[in-house]
Chains A and B, each alone.
Chain A
């Protein structure tokens, strides 16, 4: 039986093997037929294409879109870049020509080695780059010495240039050569020397700024030399990008912050436009385009003041006393206290066996809400925070824009942190302690916010609207870009009376007889600023240290000094601008941050960018630098 069955199987197998073999033979015949067609029938056509007219496609890189400030001041442009190249087969002797070239332009040993290595690797007619970024004088010298420099050619290309150097580096970002591990989805990326955005706006809008490559079909002879161009398809230039920044204010702020490790954000409270976003120290984006040496890179990354970090969006700080407006509003809304009820500050308050101190060791006495904000009384806020509870404070903080990223459109933006009882259980697995509510009441403990969030908070306090920050005005094209929201900001639904009390407290901070920052009021007649100081500890002060007396600021190591913060808006009677300043380890807010805030706001009000006409599209096209006088 088995044999019979197997015989059936064998017969079937043999039959089908014949069919399979026949099928495969047919396919192989098709291959041979195709070969015959290509190599015999069409051979002449292909031979012509191959031998005489080899068509070579070259990619033409499009010019990258420019980036400008709100008045059309260029922040990122393309500069002509003159390169010197060498074609080894046209030289009599490569080393000799390189020697002659070294006499004419600056050339390092490294460049020389690299050129010789590359020449060996490539075919002799392929030009090899010797140096980029030649200046006019070097160009002229090469031209004059041309007879002695056989095989040397000068070529022109475009190179990204940031005319403002460091000033807006963190917002702009930088361009740099393509990493090898980047997915190659665009043939442009394979061009040698092509640059893509690696940070900031350059990265965020890379695809729009990049444009599309063109192609040039060239005829190459049997040796691969270009004979003529057959067809040229121009690419599409990258789109220009207009930011909301005001370059003049940006520069002023950067200079005012000087050598500090600091950040500042200025916003138009009506539109949410970010006028200033500065983080110091900064870096020169031009250096990235040129290519950093390992040592330069290490210096940037290893600097404790973090020049590569945009502290305005990536720096998370305890907001300290700038958080007190939130606690006050939450308390008013809950009815935990009225504006007139007072809390007596004797310099500390006890919670069980622990004692929480006010910054004013002698005590403030009886404090109502306006004075508690003006004088930043900690005891008052310990008291009302414990009455309101951490979860209600957190809810208020979120309404004012804290606890989640603002979505301004820059990579690296952080969320900050607004703790709640549930949050602590979920992340730390512990239940909430009453003492922690005290800490939250003065904006310390787990609470974290970015300078941008604090500027948003100030904007929202001054308008009562859910102001959202934007950095881009509009692109020169409609569809790809998030247009600035045209609908008005949501109303935050505060009782106007509550908001008025908090604002009065902020007014008193600068303009009241006992305000913590009364020394920093604006010196413009008839114009006042409202604000709030915040000085936050980065290190716990032990009881022993407190009893021994707090040391002088100069005696504390830099990285243990307090952070100095300030948030403000102005003019008081009809607010237009809001700002935040943080100086890392700057010391006391009233001494360090408030004067900086005053100076920046003074300059903002003097230039008043929001009331000036901005550029429109045709002005961009002709690129009128600077604002109309």
Chain B
């Protein structure tokens, strides 16, 4: 490594100045994120019948705040993030318990904490917290140890506890998303494939047990997905209307602000979960595929950052947040096209809503921090290591 320059050495040690860190940032990724968000602003403008109120203005302000947060997180030393991974996880878990207990005491199922500008949903934040905690755990674990089932008990508990809490809320979609996100981290850490297969078989076997635990509306959603005729005015109707709106958009769409289906209120929640339908109706296949293409660009950045990173913690964090991002996109788009049951998962950077946007921006901030600190050397315990 004699040919590395002055900066490269500091990159390795991680003691960069703020300006150097800013220089190291992937500004092109920030650009793509802004591009997606801008499409979102236009869609919210259209959803409100060509009005900035009530959604576009607020969403733009939130995105601005989110951008500041992204940049701030990107500047934080990755070792600091690693050190506080467990405490952060513990705090979010405590918040999750808090909303659960308050829901029981208050009699209503309120899943959020009101912070004024946004309503904080701990079940969203746990996605990030879990990625960090699992990455920290597997960073310290050698490949051999990863192969031993005993060492999987702790991380499995880290997944299981919040998932049970979210299931109790009850929020099936988020629970599944947390499980899938965590599963990817286990996979990337080197857990053997047959263990996944065993687990999946076990979970399938657990369906008869878990079924009575689901809330009536969740059972309805699953049953309605299997047979949409069951509930012509409820979820089945929404899927049908969503498909009509989407399909009628055709190749080039009906034009901006011209989506009759969305604007005649055939579509439910066209500003949140069904916003992709509106985009596809107004912009057609071309618009929809363009948006998906933008998402794919972000995903490619995520994978590239993960592969370029020199430490396991960073690799796992990068792949974890990228997967979370992917799951948001896939679940939402597949849902509005009737490929999977109706679950309340927003479209990242487009759907109106505070916590999901916050989660996405934290994810992207972490990804960026991994990128900025890609060459830092971290020991097993998180300190300097010249290994």
Contacts and interface: CB of A to CB of B under 8 A. Distances in A.
The winner among B250, B280, B292, B303 for most chain A CB atoms within 10 A is B250
Given A27-B330, A39-B284, A51-B260, A16 B251 contact: no
Contacts of A43: 247-251
B143 A9 contact: yes
B142 A5 contact: yes
Interface string B182-215: 0010011010000000000000000000000000
Contacts, number: 126
Interface in A416-473: none
B187 A20 contact: yes
28 contacts: A5-B143, A9-B190, A20-B187, A20-B188, A24-B330, A28-B292, A28-B295, A31-B337, A32-B289, A38-B337, A39-B247, A39-B249, A39-B250, A40-B251, A43-B250, A45-B247, A46-B248, A47-B250, A49-B244, A50-B245, A51-B260, A54-B244, A54-B261, A54-B264, A56-B266, A187-B233, A187-B234, A220-B264
Contact of A39 (B232, B264, B280): B280
B329 to A, nearest CB: 8
Contacts of A35: 246, 280, 285, 288-289, 337
Interface string A332-351: 00000000000000000000
Interface in A202-216: 215
A3 interface: yes
A43 B284 CA distance: 10
Contacts of B244: 46, 49-50, 54
A125 to B, nearest CB: 10
Given A34-B337, A46-B246, A215-B233, A39 B319 contact: no
B326 interface: yes
B75 to A, nearest CB: 26
Contacts of B296: 28
Contacts of A94: none
Interface of A: 2-3, 5-6, 8-10, 12-14, 16-17, 20-21, 24, 27-28, 30-32, 34-36, 38-40, 42-43, 45-47, 49-51, 54, 56-57, 59, 123, 181, 185, 187, 215, 220, 222, 224
Contacts of A49: 244, 247-248
A57 B237 contact: yes
Contacts of B288: 35, 39
A31 B247 contact: no
B339 to A, nearest CB: 6
B303 A59 contact: no
Contacts of A36: 285
A12 B285 contact: no
A6 to B, nearest CB: 7
Contact of A50 (B188, B260, B295): B260
Q: Is the interface of B mostly helix, strand, loop or mixed?
A: helix
Interface string B244-270: 111111110000000011001010000
B216 A51 contact: no
B246 A54 contact: no
A17 B234 contact: no
B112 to A, nearest CB: 17
Interface of B: 108, 142-144, 184, 187-188, 190, 216, 232-234, 237, 243-251, 260-261, 264, 266, 280, 284-285, 288-289, 292, 295-296, 299, 303, 306-307, 312, 315, 319, 323, 326, 330, 333-334, 337, 339, 387
Given A34-B339, A36-B285, A38-B337, 17 more contacts: A5-B142, A5-B144, A9-B312, A10-B315, A13-B306, A16-B190, A28-B295, A31-B330, A34-B337, A35-B337, A40-B285, A46-B248, A47-B250, A50-B245, A50-B261, A51-B248, A181-B108
Given A9-B143, A17-B319, A215-B232, A185 B216 contact: yes
Nearest to A38: B247
Interface centre among B247, B280, B312 (most CB of A within 10 A): B247
A222 B188 CA distance: 51
A181 B190 CA distance: 48
A17 B307 contact: yes
A16 B266 contact: no
Most chain B CB within a 10 A radius of its CB, from A2, A10, A17, A30? A17
A485 B261 CA distance: 56
Contacts of B312: 6, 9, 13
Nearest to B246: A38
A24 to B, nearest CB: 5
A20 B184 contact: yes
B190 A12 contact: yes
B246 A222 contact: no
B232 A17 contact: no
Contacts of B323: 20, 24
B315 A13 contact: yes
Contacts of A9: 142-143, 190, 312
Contacts of B250: 39-40, 43, 47
B190 A14 contact: no
A6 B245 CA distance: 51
A17 B248 contact: no
Contacts of A181: 108
Given A12-B143, A185-B216, A54 B337 contact: no
Contacts of B237: 57
Shortest beta-carbon contacts, A-B, top 6? A46-B247, A50-B248, A39-B285, A38-B247, A47-B248, A43-B250
Contacts of A27: 330
Given A40-B251, A215-B233, A16 B337 contact: no
Nearest to A19: B187
Contacts of B303: 17, 21
A181 B270 CA distance: 23
A2 B292 contact: no
A8 B266 CA distance: 54
Nearest to A190: B233
A59 B237 CA distance: 13
Contacts of B261: 50, 54
Contacts of B299: 24
B297 to A, nearest CB: 12
Contacts of B249: 39, 43
Nearest to A215: B232
Contacts of A20: 184, 187-188, 319, 323
Contacts of B247: 38-39, 42-43, 45-47, 49-50
A31 B246 contact: no
B1 to A, nearest CB: 13
Given A8-B143, A38-B243, A31 B334 contact: yes
